[in-house]
Amino acid sequence: MNKKVIFIVIILIIVVFSVYQGFLKEKGSEYTLAEVVYGNVSQEVSETGQVQMGKAINLSFKNAGTIEKIYVQVGDKVWLGANLAKLNTSSLLIERHEAQASLEVAQAELNQLLEGATPEEIQVAKTTVDNAQIALTDAQQDFTEDLAQAYEDALNALDNAYLKGAGALATVTSIRKTYFYGNDQESLTVKARENNIDSLLSQVKEVIDNELVDTALTFMKNSLSDVADDLNIIRDMTEVANYANVVSTTNKTSLDTERLNINTALTSIVNAEQTITSTKITGQTSLNTAQGALKKAQDELTLKIAKPSQADIDLYQAQVKQAQAKNDLLDNQIWEATLRSPTQGQVIEINKRVGETWQPSLTGAVMTLLPASPYEIEVDITKKMSSRSNLATP
């Protein structure tokens, strides 16, 4: 019984080991080791070409100008980038300084716009607004006072004119009662002129009492003209045949004096009317000026307090770019004013001299350069080369 159990155990161990070896145990990977070294991959190409002499290079200035310097002579060997000749750049340098100054101004204006006004500038703007407001108030007060004075002077002129008219009426009435009391034509004429003067004065008095100064001035001016005409007619009546020697010289002189007084009063009325008109115009002009100054000061204060608009920023930035572009253009022109060697070589020909003027439209070149490699092989390769190469490992 024990031998049988031992035999069965041995058989199971053999089966398990076989399964493990056959199915469960992973097969190990196979490796090939080799040493890594540096090497060149090359492929030979065999073609037929023609050996020919290198091409000479003609060199010229891009822009016009006067040749100021020639740094080389025929036969000199030069390196890549060596200076060969130079145009006069004095005018370009002056323009460059001016362009730089314009750029700095444009940049400063942009910076100032972006930074905004300083507290001191804002305070100055506020003070300007305050002063403008005071000036407007003063202008309004001056206008009011000047116009009031003009109307007061006009009222005085009206009162004086009325008194002059009343005096003339009194003289006419006295002469009419003394000499022209009959029914003759002269007496009727004097009586009619007297009534007209009386009527005019009554109407003027009513207008003055109503303090309608502008209306009273116009009415008084017309009335005094009529009174002056009436006095002239009455004076003429004193010189007709029936009255020339009757009316006394004193009365005639009185009429002449009244006519003079009326003309003086008329002049005063005209002046008073003009003074009022001119005071209104002057005062209104001063008010408009003061109002405009205040509005301008207020607008400037608003601009200083407000942030810059994007449109303004874009404009100032564009001005900076424009100024920078001008600088870059001049820098490029100054750079191009020097003729430089494009390669290593030898100068074989110089066609211009110092002091000569160069124009891009001119035929020929300023100088000619022969490259350092005077010979080259020209080959026409038509076969496509493979881009794949194999690296053999030792």
pLDDT in tens, 163-211: 999 999 999 999 999 999 999 999 999 999 999 999 999 998 888 888 7
Residues 247 and 144 in one domain: yes
Residues 142 and 246 in one domain: yes
Residues 184 and 262 in one domain: yes
Output the pLDDT for position 364: 78
Output the pLDDT for position 113: 80
Coil/strand/helix, residue 386:
coil
When the pLDDT of each residue in the chain is averaged and rounded to a whole number, the result is 85
Coil/strand/helix, residue 370:
strand
Question: Has residue 46 been placed in a domain?
Answer: no
CATH of the domain at 345: 2.40.50.100
Q: Which residue stretches of the chain are H helix? A: 2-19, 90-115, 119-179, 185-209, 213-237, 249-305, 310-336
> Diameter of the chain by CA atoms?
203
State how many domains the chain has.
2
Residues 261 and 368 in one domain: no
Question: Has residue 111 been placed in a domain?
Answer: no
Residues 67 and 184 in one domain: no
Question: Has residue 224 been placed in a domain?
Answer: yes
User: What token pair was written down for 208?
Assistant: 């003055």
Question: Has residue 79 been placed in a domain?
Answer: yes
Output the pLDDT for position 186: 93
Residues 154 and 287 in one domain: yes
Residues 244 and 355 in one domain: no
Residues 262 and 135 in one domain: yes
Output the pLDDT for position 16: 56
pTM of the model: 0.51
Coil/strand/helix, residue 366:
coil
Q: How far apart are CA 166 and CA 223, in angstroms?
A: 12
Surface-to-core class of residue 298, CB atoms within 10 Å of its CB (0-12 exposed, 13-18 middle, 19+ buried): middle
Residues 81 and 203 in one domain: no
Coil/strand/helix, residue 264:
helix
Output the pLDDT for position 20: 55
With contact defined as beta carbons under 8 Å apart, do 71 and 86 qualify? yes
Output the pLDDT for position 30: 54
Listed as ranges, residues in the chain with pLDDT below 50 are 29, 51-52, 383-394
Give every strand in the sheet of 65-70, ordered side by side: 338-340, 83-87, 65-70, 357-358
Residues 185 and 300 in one domain: yes
Question: Has residue 23 been placed in a domain?
Answer: no
DSSP 186-216: HHHHHHHHHHHHHHHHHHHHHHHHTT-HHHH
Residues 138 and 282 in one domain: yes
Q: How far apart are CA 276 and CA 297, in angstroms?
A: 31
Residues 160 and 300 in one domain: yes
User: What token pair was written down for 352?
Assistant: 């211009």
Q: Cα dihedral angle (276, 278, 283, 288), rounded to 10 degrees?
A: 140
Output the pLDDT for position 43: 57
Q: Which domain holds residue 64?
A: 51-103+324-373
